[in-house]
Amino acid sequence: MAKKILKIVGIFLLVSVVALAAAPFIFKDKIKSMVLKTINENVDAKVAFTDVDLSLLKSFPQANVTIEELSIINKAPFEGDTLFYSGELNLKMSIKKLFKSENETMNLESFSSSNAVINVIFNKDGVANYDIALKTDEKKEESESSPFNLSIQNYEIENLKLTYLDEGSNMKLALNELNHKGKGNFAAQKLDLDTETTTRLSFEMDGAKYMNNVMLNLDAVLGIDLDKMKFEFKENKALINQLPLEFNGFLQMLEDGQLYNLTFKTPTSDFKNFLGLVPEAYAGNISQVKTTGEFKVSGKVDGKLTETTIPKFNIELASNNASFQYPDLPKSVKNIVIDTHIVNETGLMSDTYVNLDQLSFAIDQDVFNAKANVRNLDTNPLVNAELKGVVNLANVTKAYPVKLEKPLTGILKADVTTKFDMNSVEKSQYQNIQNSGIIQLSGFQYEGEEMAKPFKINNTEVVFNTSQIRLNAFDAKTGDSVLQVNGSLDNLYGFLFKNQVLKGNFNMNSRKLVVSDFMSPTTTTNEEGKKTTEAVKIPSFLDCSLTAKAGTVVYDNLNLKNVSGNLAIKDEAVTLSNLKMDIFGGNIGLTGTVSTKGDTPKFNMDLGLNAVNIAESFTQLDMLKSIAPIANTINGKLNSTIKLSGDLKQDMTPNLKTISGDLVGQLLSTSINESNSKLLSSLSSNVKFVDVSKLNLNDVKASLSFKDGKVALKPMNLKYQDINMTIGGTHGFDQSMNYDVKFDVPAKYLGTEVTSLISKLTPADQQKIESVPVTANLTGSFTSPAVKTDLKAATTNLVTQLVKMQKDKLINQGTGALSNLLGGNSSSTTSNATSTTDTTKTTTTTAPKEQIKDGVKNALNGLLGGKKKKE
């Protein structure tokens, strides 16, 4: 019998498990249909989800409905904005509710959400993006009952990000990492809701950040009246960072706004409460801090929040004769007095004011005092403040656990009063700003990742005058660089309070300035966790001009002397004008810009080189060395103008692969050192008629253009003695080359054979053979050149031409002789013929014939080089 019972129970359990596992497939479409029906009948927005799943095992004995990746996207006037997104939304209900028909109501008993995003936006017209509920006349004919009824007993929200943006008042509030859960019976009209909440709060207004990731904790029991939409604080405990607070009273939702009647205070008066206001990352563990005196926070909020009014409130922060000392630090902060009130007595936002009636403290013998009040917060805030006292910066880290890689040093002295309104600051109406006093800082030293070298300020002094702030002195040193600066700041308050760029005009003098002392490339971590180095950035918050003078400026491997010029810094770029410097035995003038605004720094420069040493400038500057590698063989001076642009590397030196531009130069008092160049040595061995070392380059002008790593030389003319030369071609920054040197060579330089032939010509014909064109082609590289000439072909052609000219000459001479011989005086011929019988006249009759024969023979021998030929 027992076995049968066990068997039946086993079968029942098996069937139950199978039924629970199979149920999702049976009810899934029904649940999906109900979710769609609920959404479509209630909202006017683009709603989407990837899937709806049902599980009876996940939260047994309840059914669990999971809506995956639910999103609600606004329509106009917030087209495309995300109102709500949830990675996963879980709804829980009784299993028996699944067996109701689609027209019957299902009671939701709990829900949970994870990784959700809510964006609440009010545009400038006051329209809210969450107003997406369908109006009554827009709804379809309503069903007899709603698909879902809220009978929630508990709920949980995990990692919610809520953003509230009011474009009209330029206000933004954000709750990040919001975790919240509550337990209560929402089926009742009155309930006690037990809640736990943690989040991080950020708040900004008009571009100014008032709170940034402030940690909030609230465990509270809220008495809720759903009929009156009234929420009452019962048992509760709150923490703002580490400051404890308790609340009493209520808030109520009304048709035209919210009604507040709240009071709050710190449950204790220990001065640890003040340290609790500071985020734990900066304040450390305050439980071990030794304190005296008290710090209290109390406040009252009473009234309605509507479109035109705010609740009246009075918030007080007070401390008197307090002190604190951290257990591991040698110094204490004492004589602390805080008296601050934030008040609104009328319910109008414009009547809110902040009074910092006193803030003072002392470290050792150094005392610091401050007073301030701010009015007209919502329209044109009016600030009136006083600062007076001394702070030894070295004592700050000895009294408070500030996390610095290197401790601060220096003495800060202040005695300043100021009065200004934000409209005048924003509009740069400096005549409305009233300042007086002085701030001094001496012996200050700072080290950090953003600084290439430790930075030490020996002395600086800022004087506050009506409508102007003057930097009277700034004497600083970093690395081997020493500089003194003075000038004026035009909009310090706009920079501090309105996120404006800092404007000013300065003069700088330096005995020695090493550029690398100020350049520290930024190190960042990419998505893969690897550290990458970014190029130096010109600050985007600067808009100032600087007139500079320096005895020596060290840039890369160069020593620049007597440097002077003007710099304008704006929009992450530096514009250089009238910049002059002595270098390479001459001087250089420079104008142009350097910009770091994009991902890659860029430059655009015009340089004027005046009487600079050629060998030094073209060997010490990589850029010039690439443009004219042959220049290292030239001794002398150069006048030149260079226009160039391109990218800069991370160390702010030119990236040679990217530069383009042109160079025009004139050589002065020059000579050539042939031994410094394999190219010139190779050229000399191939053209014996030119001694390269004796080339005269004085006043020679050269014109180059360069782009994409290639340099083109515009053909230029040179002269060696009575030989004219033309040089042109291209080379690459990789030292490859392809040049042609064309010589106009007088024939006399082409060897004895040629000169011998020329000497046999008539003077008139000799003038026709003045010079011969010879071309030398230079290829390979400057360190491994290949030189080819057409000298042999040119000489052979010339010899052929000379032979032909001499042959023509002799033929002409022979034709005249033969003409005299064969077609000359007939009487002489007859006489000679007749006289052959006269043995006494044989000698005289044969002499003319032999002379002609010998003359032709000699001419031919001369024409053919004196060699005998077979008949």
Q: What local confidence, expressed as pLDDT, does residue 445 receive?
A: 86
Of 672, 698, 729, which closes a domain? 672
Cβ pair 604, 645 in contact under 8 A: yes
Based on the fold, state whether residues 486 and 584 are members of the same structural domain. no
Based on the fold, state whether residues 382 and 247 are members of the same structural domain. yes
Cβ pair 377, 405 in contact under 8 A: no
Does the structure show a pLDDT above 90 at 508? yes
CA-to-CA separations, 604 to 94, 591, 648, 766, in angstroms, rounded: 74, 9, 10, 57
Report if residue 361 sits inside a domain: yes
Lowest mean pLDDT among 58-72, 428-442, 577-591, 849-863: 849-863
Q: What local confidence, expressed as pLDDT, does residue 667 receive?
A: 85
Lowest mean pLDDT among 211-215, 601-605, 756-760: 756-760
pLDDT per position as a tens digit, 636-692: 888 999 999 999 887 778 888 899 999 998 888 777 877 778 888 888 888 888 888
Scan for tokens 């690439």, then name that residue: 626
pLDDT per position as a tens digit, 718-739: 888 888 889 999 999 888 999 9
Q: What DSSP line would sit under 70-104, residue for residue? A: EEEE--TTSTT-EEEEEEEEEEEEEGGGGGS-TTS
Q: What local confidence, expressed as pLDDT, does residue 8 receive?
A: 39
CA-to-CA separations, 718 to 629, 692, 722, 785, in angstroms, rounded: 19, 11, 11, 21
Q: How confident is the model at residue 833 (pLDDT cuts 50, 70, 90)?
A: very low
What is the extent of the structural domain holding 611?
Answer: 537-672
Q: What local confidence, expressed as pLDDT, does residue 341 receive?
A: 95
Q: What local confidence, expressed as pLDDT, does residue 94 receive?
A: 66
Cβ partners under 8 Å of residue 757, min gap 6: 799, 802, 803, 806
Based on the fold, state whether residues 649 and 725 are members of the same structural domain. no
Q: What local confidence, expressed as pLDDT, does residue 837 receive?
A: 39
Strand positions, DSSP E, 755-871: 771-780, 785-789
Based on the fold, state whether residues 760 and 726 are members of the same structural domain. yes
Based on the fold, state whether residues 666 and 752 are members of the same structural domain. no
Based on the fold, state whether residues 293 and 381 are members of the same structural domain. yes
What's the mean pLDDT in 266-291? 83
Based on the fold, state whether residues 605 and 573 are members of the same structural domain. yes
Lowest mean pLDDT among 37-41, 112-116, 623-627: 37-41
Based on the fold, state whether residues 804 and 759 are members of the same structural domain. yes
Based on the fold, state whether residues 262 and 364 are members of the same structural domain. yes
Q: What local confidence, expressed as pLDDT, does residue 759 receive?
A: 73
Measured at the CA of 414, the angle between CA 409 and CA 416, to 5 degrees, comes to 155
Q: How confident is the model at residue 556 (pLDDT cuts 50, 70, 90)?
A: confident
List for the chain the helix, strand, coil content (%; round to 5): 25, 50, 25
Based on the fold, state whether residues 248 and 359 are members of the same structural domain. yes
Q: How confident is the model at residue 34 (pLDDT cuts 50, 70, 90)?
A: low
Q: How confident is the model at residue 829 (pLDDT cuts 50, 70, 90)?
A: very low
- Distance between CA atoms of 740 and 732, rounded to whole angstroms? 15
Report if residue 413 sits inside a domain: yes
How many domains is the chain built from? 4
Q: What local confidence, expressed as pLDDT, does residue 232 receive?
A: 94
Lowest mean pLDDT among 90-99, 343-352, 476-485, 511-520: 90-99
Q: What local confidence, expressed as pLDDT, does residue 525 receive?
A: 59
Q: What local confidence, expressed as pLDDT, does residue 264 receive?
A: 94
β pairing state of 542-555 and 502-514: parallel
The number of CA neighbours under 13 Å toward the Cβ of 391 is 22
Does the structure show a pLDDT above 70 at 494? yes
Report if residue 122 sits inside a domain: no
Q: How confident is the model at residue 864 (pLDDT cuts 50, 70, 90)?
A: very low
Report if residue 468 sits inside a domain: yes
Report if residue 830 sits inside a domain: no
Lowest mean pLDDT among 105-119, 514-528, 807-821: 807-821
Based on the fold, state whether residues 301 and 333 are members of the same structural domain. yes
**Dmax over Cα atoms in the chain, in whole Å?**
182
Report if residue 630 sits inside a domain: yes
Does the structure show a pLDDT above 60 at 834? no
- Distance between CA atoms of 555 and 563, rounded to whole angstroms? 12
Q: How confident is the model at residue 866 (pLDDT cuts 50, 70, 90)?
A: very low
What's the mean pLDDT in 312-319? 94
What's the mean pLDDT in 81-91? 87
What's the mean pLDDT in 491-516? 85
Does the structure show a pLDDT above 60 at 234? yes
Does the structure show a pLDDT above 80 at 28? no
CA-to-CA separations, 798 to 746, 768, 807, in angstroms, rounded: 11, 12, 14
Within 705-790, residue ranges assigned H as helices are 752-759, 763-768
Of 387, 415, 438, which closes a domain? 387
Cβ pair 655, 648 in contact under 8 A: yes
Q: What local confidence, expressed as pLDDT, does residue 593 receive?
A: 93
Based on the fold, state whether residues 374 and 329 are members of the same structural domain. yes
DSSP 8-state assignment for residue 736: B
Report if residue 192 sits inside a domain: no
Of 326, 359, 387, which closes a domain? 387
What's the CA dihedral at 834, 836, 839, 844 to 10 degrees?
Answer: 100
Does the structure show a pLDDT above 80 at 150? no
pLDDT per position as a tens digit, 195-233: 999 999 988 877 667 778 888 999 999 999 988 889 999
Q: What local confidence, expressed as pLDDT, does residue 836 receive?
A: 39
Q: What local confidence, expressed as pLDDT, does residue 97 receive?
A: 52
Q: What local confidence, expressed as pLDDT, does residue 838 receive?
A: 40
Q: How confident is the model at residue 816 (pLDDT cuts 50, 70, 90)?
A: low
What's the mean pLDDT in 174-195? 90
Average per-residue pLDDT for the chain: 80
What's the mean pLDDT in 745-758? 77
Report if residue 166 sits inside a domain: no
